[in-house]
Amino acid sequence: MIRPLVASIAVLSGLVLAGGAQAAPKVAPKTAPPGATEWRTPAPEDVVVIDTSKGRIVLELIPEVAPGHVARFQELTREGVYDGRTFFRVIDRFMAQTGDPDDTGEGGTKKPNLKAEFTFRRDASTPFAPAAAPAGTEVGFLKSLPVVSQAWSWAEVTSDKKVSAWGTYCPGVVGEARDEDVNSANSQFFLMRQPYPSLDKRYTAFGRVLTGLDVVRAIKTGEPVEKPQDRMTKVRLLADIPPAERPTVRVVDTASAWFKAEIARKRAARGADFSVCDVDLAVDIR
């Protein structure tokens, strides 16, 4: 069986916030909503709209961290492979798994399996927004994806002047399922219901839920799910949705002053317990 996992949902000034915070010991005053210039519009080819039996999930693919997995997800989406697929393995406080054409957890497509992309190389041009620097590493965000990286100082001694980095499994992170062979991923993927950092560098992380974590957490649980009824009814790339029905999607720019203030607010609230999963992303979908 292929074994593989988002962020709690809150509303701030009419904006949907996707973050992964656990209960904080104290709550710092909320920052004002992002200003007009503090938003980022994701590429429509990298935004996925998943309509399910429980509601809508919108996620962002991050090709910078796993280009092969993102390309495969886009390809299968456009071929309609994900339409009608059930959530056949769902574990509370862990993840919801889907994407098997056979809906059993044992299947895949006839396409070649994917080479693992557990880590990527980060250079000076990578749009990485730091949040903290624990124990010689750096944690932060690449677009909407929470990321752990070697400290940038290591770039001075690497041959390519880059450092290794990887997506970390906060709530909402999208990962690719596989079996014991690290290069066996094909079509199945999972959506994190809660943080699970032990998956880091063991399963390819390639996206993040922007909205719809409540939907992910409402899916019937089971390992496997008994007579699964919850399914993805329609999966589309934003670029392929007719303009008349296409939602507009904006995400806070992680280089913005608003986001830096949000990081500072959460670090003040959490103190020594601060995690990158605590940081909220402002998302505006209309």
Cis ω for the linkage preceding 247 (within 30 of 0)? no
| Cα of 246 vs its chain's centroid, Å | 21
Contact 65, 142 (CB under 8 A): yes
With 0-12 / 13-18 / 19 or more C-beta atoms within 10 angstroms meaning exposed / middle / buried, residue 275 is buried
Tokens of 85: 């697929």
- Please give the average per-residue pLDDT across 269-279, as a whole number: 94
pTM score of the predicted model? 0.89
pLDDT tens-digit readout, 16-58: 444 444 444 444 456 689 999 999 999 999 999 999 999 999 9
Both tokens of 63, joined, read 């090709």
Q: What is the pLDDT of residues 70-120, one digit of tens each?
A: 999 999 999 999 999 999 999 999 999 999 999 999 999 999 999 999 999
Residue 2 belongs to some domain of the structure: no
What span, in angstroms and rounded, lies between the C-alpha atoms of 215 and 230?
Answer: 10
- Whole-number Å distance between alpha carbons of 174 and 197: 13
Report the Cα 195 to chain-centroid distance in Å: 11
Tell me if residue 5 falls in helix, strand or coil: coil
| Number of Cβ within a 10 Å radius of residue 237 | 18
Residue listed under structure tokens 């992170």: 173
Cα(31)–Cα(25) distance, integer angstroms = 18
Alpha carbons 140 and 214: distance in angstroms, whole number: 24
Does residue 137 lie within any of the structural domains?
A: yes
Rounded Cα–Cα distance for residues 102 and 127 (Å): 38
- The CA–CA distances, whole Å, from 75 to 78, 172, 182, 187, 212 equal 5, 22, 21, 10, 23
Lowest-confidence pick of 28-37, 124-133, 212-221: 28-37
Give percent of the chain above pLDDT 70: 89
CA distance 121 to 126: 9
Q: Does residue 28 form part of some domain?
A: no
Distances (CA, A) of 177 to 141, 182, 186, 227: 22, 10, 8, 21
**Number of independent structural domains in the chain:** 1
Lowest mean pLDDT among 14-18, 68-72, 203-207: 14-18
In a domain, 230, yes or no: yes
- 221 within a domain of the structure (yes/no): yes
CATH of the domain at 265: 2.40.100.10
Secondary structure element (H or E) that encloses residue 142, with its range: strand 137-142
Establish if 3 belongs to a structural domain.
no
Residue 243, in any domain of the structure: yes
Contact 87, 96 (CB under 8 A): yes
241: containing domain:
8-23+33-285
**Structure token pair of residue 124:** 């000076």
Q: What is the pLDDT of residues 137-159, one digit of tens each?
A: 999 999 999 999 999 999 999 99
Contact 177, 4 (CB under 8 A): yes
